[in-house]
């Protein structure tokens, strides 16, 4: 009853996955949040999940998320983005700010106005992605296993990393390279939190490139929540841990 992870007033979570992922990324975390009595909507979006359109644009992704939220009549939302999902919640909240109670970035991109996700990456990373994109028949990027294993799944066992990799979809390349107009985002004063899993190895953890403090510090006044974890294994294999951190980021 008095558990610090139960709130009297249940929250409404809307969860937006990142690249090389689908809504099943949230399966364990959703179940844990529901056990805490919250309402959870893990949203599929354009060009991902069941939509085969490889020519999807960032605007189409955002529109599909907005449509889902409006269609279901959701309000007072805790809008959570993981990884590339950070860029999606940045644009989504520009369209429906009145429905959003708080933004929660989970090891997520926070883009500056006028930049792309690719603009945030170290040069070696960008050129690798450009080569993978050019080599693809349908303008997608498939993560090579060594990159996935070392940088996205570093804390996992071989079995966990391989299982996750087998279930990793290719990613439409276009949106990763789109520069986004975020002037409205930076004019909004909706509360925001950054939940940081500290062993995330997708970026070098320097001031120059890190999720935290580099991306997080763009949020201005925000709430920091932190715990152990990597980019892909911890959210899938320790969902209770991540759900508790998300709740700490989400509560009033």
What is the Cα gyration radius of the chain?
17
CB of 147 to a second copy, least distance (A): 6
> In terms of residues, how long is the chain?
252
CB of 217 to a second copy, least distance (A): 4
Pick one of 96, 126, 142, 147: the residue that binds a second copy (CB under 8 A).
147
Q: 16 to each of 24, 40, 100, 124, how far by Cα in Å?
A: 11, 11, 14, 27
Using CB under 8 A as the binding rule, whether residue 131 contacts a second copy is answered as no
Using CB under 8 A as the binding rule, whether residue 191 contacts a second copy is answered as yes
Binding characters for a second copy, 42-81, by CB under 8 A (x = yes): ----------------------------------------
Query: Which region among 29-37, 41-49, 75-83, 212-220 touches a second copy (by CB under 8 A)?
Result: 212-220
Query: Which region among 40-48, 86-94, 108-116, 214-222 touches a second copy (by CB under 8 A)?
Result: 214-222
Identify the CA nearest to 240 among candidates 102, 36, 37: 36
Using CB under 8 A as the binding rule, whether residue 221 contacts a second copy is answered as yes
Pick one of 1, 123, 135, 158: the residue that binds a second copy (CB under 8 A).
158
Nearer to a second copy, 24 or 214 (CB): 214
Query: Which region among 35-43, 48-56, 168-176, 191-199 touches a second copy (by CB under 8 A)?
Result: 191-199
Phi, psi (degrees; rounded to nearest 5) at 191? -55, 150
β-strand 140-141 against 171-172: which pairing, if any? Answer: antiparallel
Pick one of 123, 124, 137, 166: the residue that binds a second copy (CB under 8 A).
124
Pick one of 121, 126, 188, 224: the residue that binds a second copy (CB under 8 A).
224
Q: First and final CA of the chain: distance in angstroms?
A: 18
β-strand 140-141 against 100-108: which pairing, if any? Answer: unpaired
Using CB under 8 A as the binding rule, whether residue 213 contacts a second copy is answered as yes
CB of 86 to a second copy, least distance (A): 18
CA gap 82, 26 in Å, rounded: 10
Phi-psi region of 150 (alpha: psi -120 to 50; beta: other; left: phi over 0): alpha
DSSP string, 160-184: HHHHHHHTPPPEESHHHH-----TT
Phi, psi (degrees; rounded to nearest 5) at 226? -145, 145
Residue 65 corresponds to which tokens in the numbers above?
């998320």
Note the residues at the interface with a second copy (CB under 8 A). Answer: 4, 7, 124, 146-147, 149-151, 154-155, 157-158, 191, 193, 198-199, 201, 204-208, 210, 212-214, 217, 220-226, 228, 230, 248, 251-252
């Amino acid at each position: 009853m008095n558990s610090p992870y139960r709130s009297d007033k249940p929250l409404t979570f809307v969860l937006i996955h990142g690249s090389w992922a689908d809504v099943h990324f949230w399966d364990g975390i959703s179940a844990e949040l529901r056990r805490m009595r919250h309402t959870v909507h893990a949203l599929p979006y354009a060009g991902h999940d069941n939509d085969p359109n490889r020519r999807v644009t960032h605007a189409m992704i955002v529109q599909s998320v907005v449509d889902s939220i409006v269609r279901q009549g959701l309000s007072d939302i805790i809008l959570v983005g993981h990884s590339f999902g950070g860029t999606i919640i940045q644009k989504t909240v520009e369209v429906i700010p009145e429905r959003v109670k708080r933004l929660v970035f989970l090891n997520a991109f926070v883009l500056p106005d006028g930049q792309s996700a690719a603009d945030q990456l170290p040069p070696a990373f960008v050129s690798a992605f450009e080569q993978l994109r050019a080599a693809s028949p349908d303008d997608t990027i498939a993560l090579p296993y060594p990159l996935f294993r070392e940088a996205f799944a570093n804390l996992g066992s071989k079995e966990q990393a391989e299982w996750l990799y087998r279930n990793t979809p290719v990613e439409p390349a276009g949106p990763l390279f789109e520069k986004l107009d975020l002037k409205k985002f930076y004019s909004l004063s909706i509360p925001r939190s950054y939940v940081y899993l500290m062993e995330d190895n997708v970026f070098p953890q320097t001031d120059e490139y890190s999720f935290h403090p580099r991306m997080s510090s763009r949020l201005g006044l925000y709430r920091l929540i932190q715990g152990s974890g990597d980019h892909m294994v911890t959210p899938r294999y320790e969902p209770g841990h991540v759900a508790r951190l998300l709740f700490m980021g989400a509560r009033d």
